[in-house]
Structure 1
Amino acid sequence: MDDKEIEAIKLHVAGATVRHTAPFDDLKPFKNDFELTQDFIDKWVIPFYMNIGQSDNEWINKLTSVKKEITTDIIEKNLGDFNWRTRQTGAFFSAITNQTQFVDIIGTHLLKSEVCYAGGVYCKVFASFNLPKCVDYLNLYLDYYLTKPDLWFDQRDAMEAILYLDKINSTNHFDRHINNWAEFIKNKPYWDKEIKTDNLEKQLTVIETVRQYAC
């Protein structure tokens, strides 16, 4: 196995399962210039990444118990690692600690869509922050990725986030994308056409509960 093949395997494991060219090459993603230690991964990635999306009390209690230890450095290290597990964990940590200074890093990651799975968490985080810039990133994402029906990425998550933000902000961004959404799912017979926010709102309740917890 040559170096090129080894690198391809590494990218696949990290979550770069679909290689694509998007019109966001001018955006420079935030990336670490070092490898995370196994100790860091064992403490700040493995116990969390598979549970993002849970809403039970055990999960909430786990998050509140470690919230005071989640520093800006921990979030940066996670977001800067080229791996879906670390990136989604870093984004989620930024949400529960309400550190909105990471919006541009997360937005760039969303637009470039370099790794799988993480995008849905980015959309959830943007819905929790509810900043104009978050809406801008979601609109940019949908403007492009809804026109790419062969890229089965995080379009539904972004549509859910936009719909939710419309509901609480009395805006109407969702209608801007509804026709493209209908075209996008034509080759996806098992996708539900209707966009609902029930599950998203349940996840946002978790984030808000942990965010309001006094350390």
Structure 2
Amino acid sequence: MRSQHPDKTGHGYVIERYVMRMDSDAPRYLELNGARALRPGWPHAERFARHMIEDAVSITDEELEALLAYEWRSRLTGAWLIGVGRRESFRERIAGLLLASEVCYSGAGYCFALARFATREDSEILTAYLDHYLARTDLHYDQGAALGALLHLDARLATHYADRFTQPDGPWNQWVEGVGRLGYPSHTPAELRRWTDLQCGFANGWSHV
């Protein structure tokens, strides 16, 4: 899938409006990637949250598509806006982007959006991703974010999709050992689920939906 600048579809303004928006001392995409909004006591939290939900409601499908068709900053931002607004019509698009894993960082946004949609279909998308990418012990992509989202959904939906990944000496542990040899740190499944819980809990507080 080739990256396309929003200018090509007449949506060049979406980068400045949604991705580079300054609700703090850093552009929005950096705040989403660094997750300062989840830290207690962050002084810009109220304004950041208010503008996120306003944009998640007002952004059009065409504008979201323009974000998802470009590079990682716009894809990450678009995925978060989709997740906050629970735009489930983008489920298939998000699934395709996650499984393709074309650019860095944005995959965590896709996993957040799927966790927000919160259906078994979303669990199956995350499962398909983990089936494919946990087998790649030479790659550190978004395996952690995907497992955290899947564990979050298991707890919410009373399902057990993640069980076969997290069993002793199972795919998760084998992947952790593999990327550990490459020098990549990892987190426990409990830590990863807690992170997704924080993201979704904060988004629930923003949107009250």
Residues 160-212 of structure 1, C-alpha deviations (whole Å, 9 max, x = no match)? 11111111111111112121000001131632344322222121122223333
CA distance in 2, matches of 1:30, 1:157: 24
Q: Partner residue of 1:191? A: 186
TM superposition score normalised by structure 2? 0.79
The question of whether the paired residues in 2 share the 8 Å contact of 1:166 and 1:173 is answered with yes
- 2:198 is aligned, of 196, 202, 213, to 202
TM superposition score normalised by structure 1? 0.77
The question of whether the paired residues in 2 share the 8 Å contact of 1:30 and 1:105 is answered with no
- 2:114 is aligned, of 121, 126, 135, to 126
CA distance in 2, matches of 1:79, 1:141: 19
Unaligned runs of 5+ residues in structure 1 are: 1-28
**Percent identity of paired positions between Structure 1 and Structure 2:** 26
Q: Partner residue of 2:41? A: none
CA distance in 2, matches of 1:103, 1:136: 12
Q: Per the alignment, do residues 32 and 212 of structure 1 end up closer, same or farther by CA in structure 2, a change over 3 Å counting?
A: farther
Give the paired residue count: 184
Structure 1's consecutive aligned runs of 4 or more residues displaced over 6 angstroms after TM superposition are none
Q: Per the alignment, do residues 102 and 65 of structure 1 end up closer, same or farther by CA in structure 2, a change over 3 Å counting?
A: closer
1:49 maps onto 2:37 in alignment: no
CA distance in 2, matches of 1:42, 1:34: 11
Higher mean C-alpha displacement, 132-141 vs 189-198: 189-198
The question of whether the paired residues in 1 share the 8 Å contact of 2:112 and 2:149 is answered with yes
Unaligned runs of 5+ residues in structure 2 are: 22-27, 39-44
